[in-house]
A and B are shown apart, each in its own frame.
Chain A
Amino acid sequence: MAEKIIKTEGLSYIYSAGTPYEHRAIDNVNIEIEKGSFVGLIGHTGSGKSTLIQHLNGLLKPSEGKIFIGGEDLWANPKDIRRFRFKVGLVFQYPEHQLFEETVRKDIAFGPKNMGLSEEEIEARVIEAAKLTGLTEDYLEKSPFELSGGEKRRVAIAGVLAMRPEVLILDEPTAGLDPKGREFILSEIKNYHDRTGATVILVSHSMEDVARFASHVLIMNHSKVAMYGETREVFKRVEELCEIGLEVPQISRVFAKLRENGANVPESVLTVAEAKEAVLKLLKKGGEEND
């Protein structure tokens, strides 16, 4: 069995405890995430996704329960919490809003500098992270504030990648980008995952994106984990997902309907490429029978 990089036990978090605004944002979350997996985190707005991911690098302290990163209790020593922030890189929603330095180079270097690395090491990591996010050398000396929205976001993501986190968490990294920008960001995340073997958690509203990239899917609903499992298994549960008010990828829906109508297609089809294969296979088989 693969190593569990993230494990939570009875994790709960209550916002503004003791006031009229009290709200249980996550409730008794127990998950185990395998090292090297690519997890798609899905849920409605307010289902507790953002709260959950902020626990995984110790930004929020759980009201109840425990978190283990690589087998170590995150809150065993609160003074030591920064160590985990470098291990678990978190890219917030609209990360371009956090840029502050004079140059792109300095901004990307902020994380590695906080890690206390040597100058050469920092420089190497900045170059590496810039390359990973498709920023060429001449970007490095520009001010982050003169870049376009998509470029800014790439700089912000590079700032987290430069820490070489073992776990990379991204909160809707493609929100507000055009299709080309989305595609670019997603493929660079995939790239990082493949090249470094890091664990990735991707919060997304797009079922298609999750189906394409994720090996596992985690569904949150009303502050609780509704489902967690391999992508294929989760997207088989079309009806349950609909009950929560979530959708499955369009193509999966089409194939679920086809099965309902008696077509002999596989139970879970996630991407258009898979769908094509399945249809071709079916046509071929049909052709043979007709012969």
Chain B
Amino acid sequence: MIKDITFGQYFPGDSIIHRLDPRMKLILIIAYIVLLFVADGLFSLLIGAAMAVVFYALSKLPWKLVIKCIKPIMPIIIFTAVLNVFFVEGDPIFEWKFISVSGKGVLTAVLMCIRIICLIAGSSLLTYTTTPIALTDGLERLLKPLQKIKVPVHELSMMMTIALRFIPTLIDETQKIMAAQKARGADMESGNIIQRAKALIPILIPLFVSAFRRADELALAMECRCYHGGEGRTRMKQLKLTAKDFGAALFVAGGFAAIIFMNMFGPEVFRL
């Protein structure tokens, strides 16, 4: 049950997408999100969707992962779609009593759905194919210029790395504590909201205690290895941009160009 919460968990593999430089992946995913919002018609958005399909195919991930990442946001998608269908004003194509549906509304709803799905699928692809450590590493390098204005980039990314590192540990710990309390007859599945909230106490208190204990131990271990912040720290794994990174950049740039072209010169139908 708890395992399902880790939305966009790393899925090991050795595809070209897995091996891309995390910095490039981060930049490209941002570019991709911008691109999805630049696309203003069905055809240009379909180019965006096709790009997502190509990326997933290249990553060799099982397709059911796409469904897995979209499932939790299904309510949002449906909600947005319903809202758009009924509340966007335009020439009505269907009217019954106070309900009216416009062609523009349906189109907006469809575009919104595609956009959200691509958005989630795209950003999930990033976390599916990049280890959290590589991700924060890439982020740290990308944010490095901010150090000039005294943003503690290294410290922030170290905090993030540690936080990410401890998510599975704490999930593990939670499960152990849950099992131990269940073994003593704790009932977490029944009762009203207040009873359920109360049932969490036997889990949360030991969890906090152990989180603090771990933090203490980790701080001590880091101190023992002479950790003193980011200054003068070198890296074991140097990030290097290679041909495949530039290839990926080129591909996204191509997609961008195609969408802008489609926006400007594409067919006038199915446009907002």
Q: Residues of A with Cβ closer than 8 Å to B?
A: 20, 54, 57, 59, 82, 85-86, 89-92, 95, 97-100, 110-111, 114-115, 145, 159-160, 163
Contacts and interface: CB of A to CB of B under 8 A. Distances in A.
B185 A54 contact: no
Contact of B184 (A20, A97, A114): A114
A97 B176 CA distance: 9
Contact of B180 (A92, A115, A145): A92
Contact of B183 (A20, A89, A100, A145): A89
Contact of A20 (B12, B176, B202, B205): B12
Given A20-B11, A20-B12, A145-B209, A54 B179 contact: yes
A82 B182 CA distance: 8
Contacts of A59: 179, 182-183
Contacts of B53: none
A110 B209 CA distance: 18
B185 A92 contact: no
Contacts of B197: none
B80 interface: no
Interface residues of B, number: 19
CB-based closest 3 A-B pairs: A114-B185, A100-B205, A98-B180
Contact of B206 (A82, A86, A100, A114): A100
A178 B176 CA distance: 24
Contact of B185 (A82, A91, A99): A82
A92 B205 contact: no
B206 A163 contact: no
B193 interface: no
B80 to A, nearest CB: 31
Given A20-B11, A20-B12, A92-B176, A97 B183 contact: no
Interface in B182-210: 182-187, 201-202, 205-206, 209-210
Nearest to A81: B182
Contacts of B206: 97-100
Max chain A C-beta neighbours (<10 A), residue from B183, B201, B206 = B183
A241 B184 CA distance: 35
A97 B210 contact: yes
Given A82-B187, A92-B183, A114-B185, 17 more contacts: A54-B179, A57-B183, A82-B185, A86-B185, A92-B180, A98-B202, A99-B206, A100-B201, A100-B202, A110-B186, A110-B202, A111-B185, A114-B187, A159-B184, A160-B183, A160-B184, A163-B184
A89 B12 CA distance: 38
Contacts of A163: 184-185
Contacts of A100: 201-202, 205-206
B184 A111 contact: yes
Given A92-B176, A97-B177, A98-B177, A115 B185 contact: yes
A159 B181 CA distance: 10
17 contacts: A20-B12, A57-B183, A59-B179, A85-B182, A85-B183, A85-B185, A90-B180, A92-B179, A92-B180, A92-B183, A97-B177, A97-B180, A97-B210, A99-B206, A100-B206, A111-B185, A160-B183
A238 to B, nearest CB: 35
Nearest to A100: B205
Contacts of B185: 82, 85-86, 110-111, 114-115, 163
A180 B179 CA distance: 29
A97 B210 CA distance: 7
Interface string B110-153: 00000000000000000000000000000000000000000000
